[in-house]
C-alpha cells in the first residue's frame, strides 16, 4: 500500500474472532491453515491498546449441529424459523477444550471475552447480532460506551464469523476493516468470494497486516 501505515488509536479496537481449538487443524471444525493466523494476530495485537476476543460457545445438541437433525450431514442446509442454517459438525461446546482459545494466542491486554451462539435454538456467526437477526449480543453497547468507533477484524473464519461480524459492525454504525492475512476461510460452495463481495459492497475495508504500523 502506498499510503502511510495505520497507527491504531484510542477509538480503534482489534476484534479477534473465534481463534479457538475447534477451528484449528485437529479441531472439530477445522479451517484450513487456521493456525497460521495466530502469530499474525499476536503481532498485530501489540499495536492495539484496545483488544477484544470472541468465542463461539455452543450448548451440547445445538441447533446448528448436523447431529441434532436426523438424516442430516455437516454442510447440509436446513430451514429454521429464522431462515436457512448451514449444519456443522459438533464444535466449540461450552467449557470443552475444543472451545478454548488457541494456547499460543497471546493477548493478555484483551479487555473483554464475549461469547456467542450460546442459545440452544439460535446460531450466531456474528459477534453483534444473532442469526435470528433480532437478538443483540451486547457488543455494540459495550463498544459504544467505551467510545470505540473503528473495529479491525481478524480470526476465523473469513467467510462466516469474521464476515458476519464485520458486516454487522458496519450496520451498527462502526467503521469496519478486515485484516485479510490474519484470517482464513472455510470456503464452502463459493462462500469466501461471496463474503468478500458482500463486505466490499458494504464498505468494509480490506487490509493486510502490513497496513498496520507495528
73 labelled catalytic: no
> Is 65 strand, coil or helix?
strand
Q: Which of 36, 42, 118, 121 binds another protein (CB under 8 A)?
A: 118
Q: Least distance (Å) from another protein to the CB of residue 139? A: 7
DSSP assignment letter at 112: E
Round to whole Å and give the CA distance between 60 and 144. 32
Residue 165 interacts with another protein (CB under 8 A): yes or no: no
Q: Build a one-symbol-per-residue string for 52-71: x at contacts with another protein by CB under 8 A, - elsewhere.
A: -----x--------------
Of the candidates 134, 109, 10, 114, the residue with the CA atom closest to the CA atom of residue 56: 114
Q: Which of 64, 140, 158, 183 binds another protein (CB under 8 A)?
A: 140
Beta bridge partners of 52: 15, 112
Helices (H), 98-189: 139-145, 163-171
Residue 121 interacts with another protein (CB under 8 A): yes or no: no
Does residue 126 contact residue 161 with C-beta atoms inside 8 Å?
yes
Closer CB to another protein, 98 or 180, in the complex: 98
35 labelled catalytic: no
Residue 149 interacts with another protein (CB under 8 A): yes or no: no
Euclidean distance between the first and final Cα of the chain, in Å?
A: 15
Residue 113 interacts with another protein (CB under 8 A): yes or no: yes
Among candidate residues 56, 116, 123, 159, the one labeled active-site is 116
Sequence-separated (6 or more) residues with CB below 8 Å from residue 190: none
Known catalytic residues are 18, 116, 161
Using CB under 8 A as the criterion, which residues of the chain lie in contact with another protein when the complex forms? Answer: 57, 94-95, 106, 108-115, 118, 136-146
Amino acid at each position: 500500500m502506498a499510503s502511510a501505515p495505520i497507527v491504531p488509536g484510542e477509538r480503534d479496537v482489534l476484534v479477534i474472532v473465534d481463534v479457538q481449538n475447534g477451528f484449528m487443524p485437529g479441531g472439530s471444525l477445522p479451517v484450513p491453515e487456521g493456525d497460521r493466523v495466530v502469530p499474525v494476530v499476536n503481532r498485530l495485537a501489540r499495536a492495539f491498546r484496545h483488544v477484544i476476543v470472541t468465542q463461539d460457545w455452543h450448548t451440547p445438541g445445538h441447533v446448528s449441529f448436523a447431529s441434532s437433525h436426523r438424516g442430516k450431514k455437516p454442510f447440509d442446509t436446513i430451514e429454521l424459523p429464522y431462515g436457512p442454517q448451514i449444519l456443522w459438525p459438533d464444535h466449540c461446546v461450552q467449557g470443552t477444550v475444543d472451545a478454548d482459545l488457541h494456547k499460543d494466542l497471546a493477548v493478555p491486554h484483551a479487555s473483554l471475552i464475549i461469547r456467542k451462539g450460546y442459545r440452544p435454538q439460535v446460531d450466531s456467526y456474528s459477534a453483534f447480532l444473532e442469526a435470528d437477526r433480532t437478538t443483540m449480543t451486547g457488543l455494540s453497547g459495550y463498544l459504544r460506551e467505551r467510545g470505540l468507533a473503528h473495529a479491525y477484524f481478524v480470526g476465523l473464519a473469513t467467510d462466516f464469523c469474521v464476515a458476519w461480524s464485520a458486516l454487522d459492525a458496519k450496520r451498527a454504525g462502526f467503521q469496519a476493516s478486515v485484516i485479510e492475512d490474519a484470517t482464513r476461510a472455510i470456503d464452502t460452495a463459493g462462500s469466501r468470494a461471496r463474503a468478500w463481495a458482500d463486505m466490499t459492497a458494504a464498505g468494509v475495508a480490506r487490509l493486510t497486516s502490513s497496513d498496520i504500523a507495528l
